[in-house]
Amino acid sequence: MTAAGNPRLSSWADGPAKRSIIDFVARVSTDGSSDFIGPSERIAVFDNDGTLWAEQPVPVQARFVIDQIQALAAEHPEWRERQPFKAAIENGLATVMGSGMEGLTELVMATHAGMSTDAFAALVRDWIAEAEHPRLSKKHTELVYQPMLGVLALLRENGFKIFIVSGGGIEFMRTFSEELYGVPPEQVIGSSNVTRYVVKDGEPALMREASLHFYNDKEGKPVAINAHTGRRPIAAFGNSDGDFAMLEWVTSGPGPRFGLIVHHDDADREFAYDRDAGLAPLVRGLDEGPGRGWTIASMRMDWLTVFPA
């Protein structure tokens, strides 16, 4: 089937980006093709925030953390005079994001620890079912990217196994990954807290502690992919320089390889940001991606729709 006629990518405009996806999938999955790759090696990895759903003005998990800080503030009066807790309580998003990963990690540990993994998952599910984006006035679960859902479906139909590989929390994403993306929890790779096994009153549980086990971003992404899968994927999708090492590692392997960067350049339908994006800028990807053979997908030019109707 031609790129223009593929129904899975109907939300993509006909052009080089769409053709690159279709052509790669056809080459590696067609019996008799000189670039044919067996199903066991057809692995694709996707960043989550900004690649599969909207991440501005703050990542979804950061919004969750801020809401939890506000909910717990009455129990912690000391937070009202201590940054970045004070900013989170006052909904000062710029100050919270300006605190960088160190500040966000402190907030995460204060809200994500001291409970079982089951209790945390229930808390996330309740929140994600109702939480709305602060500017787009839709639930976060409605702000997945329709064009990327089409890519996920196309890959599955052609024998690919898909992993989400994100800086977000692994247990946070596992609560919704299967429903939103069709990616089961065992195929989610993310940052994690230290977790310990306990038995209390005869009941076993996994308890989350207030310390970071692994931060899955930048150079950590290839390390985590290898640890979880034992294979080097053949396709990688991202949107920021936090994904650069993942795309670099994936596309430097032998045989046919594919890398794609979602470029947020559509302020009318979503957001426009790249080099000045704060925690997740896109600089090296824009400058070096084309020379490395990566597809730069313009949200403004390549996506006929952004979100599901």
For the chain (309 residues), the mean pLDDT of every run of 10, in chain order, is 71 98 98 97 98 95 93 93 91 79 87 93 97 94 98 98 97 98 98 96 95 95 98 98 98 98 98 91 98 98 97
């991440």: which residue's tokens?
55
Angle at alpha carbon of residue 108, lines to 88 and 167, rounded to 5° = 115
| Residue 76 domain-assigned (yes or no) | yes
| Residue 151 domain-assigned (yes or no) | yes
Residue 309 is predicted with a pLDDT of: 87
Pair 195, 263 in one domain? yes
Pair 183, 219 in one domain? yes
Residue 120 is predicted with a pLDDT of: 96
| Residue 2 domain-assigned (yes or no) | no
Pair 93, 200 in one domain? no
Pair 149, 72 in one domain? no
| Residue 135 domain-assigned (yes or no) | no
Give me the number of domains the chain comprises.
Answer: 2
Residue 96 is predicted with a pLDDT of: 82
How far, in Å, are 67, 81, 86, 94, 150 from residue 90 at the CA level? Answer: 11, 11, 6, 11, 39
Pair 119, 169 in one domain? no
Residue of 230, 303, 258, 255 whose CA lies nearest to 24: 258
Pair 16, 151 in one domain? yes
Residue 1 is predicted with a pLDDT of: 47
| Residue 309 domain-assigned (yes or no) | no
Pair 66, 198 in one domain? no
Asked if 253 and 45 touch (Cβ cutoff 8 Å), the reply is no
Contacts of 160 (CB under 8 A, 6+ apart): 25, 29, 42, 43, 44, 235
Range of the domain at 112: 60-128
Residue 304 is predicted with a pLDDT of: 98
Residue 178 is predicted with a pLDDT of: 98
Residue 143 is predicted with a pLDDT of: 98
How many helices and strands in the chain, by DSSP H and E? 13, 7
